[in-house]
Amino acid sequence: MALNDLTPQLRTRLNRMEKWAGVFVFIAIVIVLVAIGYYAYSSAVRKGWNRKKVPYFTLVTSAEGLKIGDPVMLMGFKAGTITDVQPNAPGDYYNVTVRFEIWEPYFGYLWTDSDVRLKAGLLGGKTLEVTKGGQSYTTDALSATYQEKDGRFYMWEDPSKDNPEGQWSEEPVRSDSMGYMLVCYEGADVMNSANTLVSRISDGLPGFLALTNQVAALLEESTRLIVNANGTLTNLQPVVKNVETISTILTNEHGGLGEWVIPAELNAQVVDTVGAVKGTVQTSETNVVMLSQSLNDSLENLADITGNLRQQVQANSYMLSSISTLVLDLDDLIQGLKRNWLLKGSFGPQTNMPPESILVPSLGGGSSNSENGSEKEGGK
Amino acid sequence: MLKKNNIGWICLGVVLVCGGCRSVPPPEPKPAAVLKVEQLALTAASVSEAGNWVAAENTWQEVAAQYGELDRREEQAVALHNQAVAAFRQNKYEVAETVAEQAAAINRQGNEWWKNQILLLQIEGKKSPQKAASRLESLLVEAKKKSLEMSSPILWAILVNEQGVLLLGDGQAESAKVMFNKVLEKGNLDAVWVLVVRSNLALCAEQSTDYMGALQTWQEILEKARKLAEREIIATALEGVGRCELRLGNTEEARVALQRAMDNYGRLNMSVEQTRVKELLEILMKEITK
């Protein structure tokens, strides 16, 4: 429908509405643009796009946990980002080269004695942290790593054979330059250490379990031996008596019955047997002593337990107070039930009844003067 | 699951129990001294019931003293009365009479006074029958005056029994028998007391030389006493049986019965009765050896 077909009033109203719609769209576009601008600004701040930055690199053993874009921390602040992670040549001593840039003003903290710490997180990630330099006082050649002249950065070149004192680079640092190298100290990998520890424990545990099994078996065997020793001791009692009797006969002086009856070889065997029996008896005695010692220890432990219980009861006056309160409350409850008209019959009569006079009828007669019967008047 | 009826009953029970808690006021607490003497009185009653008259006399004496200190005169009179009974059962008539008179001095009227008077009558019956007869006469007048037969039939029955005993001791067996029958006509007597009164009737029959009737009565008493486990009446009945058998010439039966009676008296520590039966046995053995 063409706009000219409308009435003038309606046409005026539609024009006004279109104007407001245009305003709304404009405001929406402005809001979106502002939001996009704010996001771009915060991203630039976060990523240091609008900051001056200088390159550094370090050498590490492994690139595990390191990614391009990860932050580089200095004194707890985000001071830069990792820009590149590359493996070195196979013949190099270090395995990986990590390049990173440090934003202003943080590169002012980095001196020639600064270093890099590679910290491992619990979840497997790694954080690159640079340390503040200039305060180690370990060398006279301390210097800042970069200096700015005319908007350009010049890198400090460490002392070498050709340049024993070190110097600032003659050319300003280019954007593709490797930058100043900081020595990296790789901290202990917590997860690796934990894994190593767990693996060592796992390796050692079977041995430990085997050891405990051996101890248990040893104890079981000892118990069995003691039981057997007890049985042996019991069985040996008559044997020992017989041996004692025999030995009494055999220990006679030369010419005794033993020497006459028993040949010399048999006599020697008997002596050996008696010696063996004596050893067995001594072993049994030792076992019995050990057994009695164990029993004594058990009794002492039992005494300790009862002693502790007594001490607890004595020390815990609150417990005794609670028991006393419980008894009193129970007495109140029973007294209350005794007063209940429905239940008082269950408790029987009062015990302290008043005494009654005893009166019994007499048993008369001339031949019998005794009193018989023992009933109280009113008692039945 | 609880049904509606069960819930109703439970609610009713809760209401009754909770309401009952408030319906009866709590009893007043007794002083410790009163509780102590009441406990001692219970002990005295127990030893009296067990027939340990020596301990009973000492305990009742202590109870009477403690009630006296508490100025509880009525309970003190009861304790003195029971102390007198214990002394009387040990044949300590003088002590029994003195203590019974102390109790009677406290009780000026009422059933307790009657109990004291009947006890004094029993003591005097052993100690001085003439004095007992005088007291009995005054008591009968008082009983008639106070209508004791109506107000306290038990006490009246015992009084009449004592009258019969006195008559029996005076050799008036027929009159005594009337008295004893009057006692038995009272239907609410205790079973043991009935046996005592029937024993008196058997004695009346013996005094009337009706040994067969007496023997039969004694045997019936013995049978019932065994059912009631009344050891003193068993011993008394055995003595009566032995005595009647002796009079009837059945020496062997008499010997057996008297021997058993003597043994029973010995177990009951009734030395007087044991000595009496022993004398009878000696007479019997002499007759047997003739």
State residue A368's pLDDT score: 39
Which chain A residues are Cβ-neighbours of B164 within 8 angstroms? Answer: 364
Q: So what's the pLDDT on residue A168?
A: 85
Burial of A328: CB neighbours in 10 Å, binned 0-12, 13-18, 19+:
exposed
Cα gap B237→A39, rounded to integer Å:
128
Task: Answer yes or no: do B161 and A362 touch at CB < 8 A.
Answer: yes
Count of beta carbons in the 10 Å neighbourhood of residue A59: 17
Q: Tell me what pLDDT residue A373 has.
A: 34
Could you tell me which of B201, B214, B265 has the C-alpha nearest to residue B236? Answer: B265
Among the listed residues A90, A101, A99, the one whose alpha carbon sits nearest the alpha carbon of residue A63: A99
Neighbours of A286 (CB within 10 A): 11
Secondary structure letter of residue A343 according to DSSP: T
Contacts of B189 in chain A (CB under 8 A): none
In order, the DSSP letters of B144-155 are HHHTHHHH-HHH
User: Which chain B residues touch A341 with a CB distance below 8 Å?
Assistant: 20, 23-24
Task: Check residues A213 and B175 and name the one with the higher pLDDT.
Answer: B175
Contact A364/B44, CB-based, under 8 Å? no
pLDDT tier at A280, thresholds 50, 70, 90: low
pLDDT for position A119: 80
The rounded distance, in Å, linking the Cα atoms of B100 and B120 is 6
d(C-alpha A248, C-alpha A16), whole Å: 142
Task: Pick the residue from chain B with its C-alpha nearest to A335.
Answer: B26
> Which tens digits make up the pLDDT trace of A78-128?
889 999 999 998 888 888 999 999 988 888 888 888 889 888 766 667 888
Q: Which residues of B touch A370 (CB under 8 A)?
A: 232, 236, 270, 272-273
Q: Is the dihedral of CA A207, A208, A209, A215 positive or negative?
A: positive
Q: Which of A343, A363, A369 sits opposite B199 (nearest CB)?
A: A363
Cα A162 to the center of its chain, rounded Å: 57
The model's confidence at residue A371, banded by pLDDT at 50, 70 and 90, is very low
Cα B159 to Cα B135: distance, rounded to the nearest angstrom:
11
User: How far A323 CA sits from the closest chain B CA (Å)?
Assistant: 24
Of chain A, the percentage scoring pLDDT greater than 70 comes to 58
Tens-digit pLDDT profile for residues A67-80: 888 889 998 888 89
Q: How far is B203 from chain A (nearest CA, A)?
A: 6
B28 or A15, higher pLDDT: A15
With bands split at pLDDT 50, 70 and 90, how would you rate the model's confidence at A370?
A: very low
Q: Provide the shortest C-alpha distance from residue A329 to chain B (in Å).
A: 16
Candidates B30, B70, B74, B118, partner chain A, best to mutate (most A CBs within 10 A)? B118
Q: In which band, very low, low, confident or very high, does the pLDDT at A374 lie, cut at 50, 70 and 90? A: very low
* Nearest by Cα to B222 from B240, B237, B242: B237
For residue range A153-212, list pLDDT tens digits in order: 888 888 887 777 788 888 888 878 888 988 888 765 555 656 666 676 667 666 656 666
Using CB atoms, pick whichever of A342, A351, A363 lies closest to residue B17: A342
Residue owning tokens 């010692």: A293
CB pairs under 8 A between A and B: 149
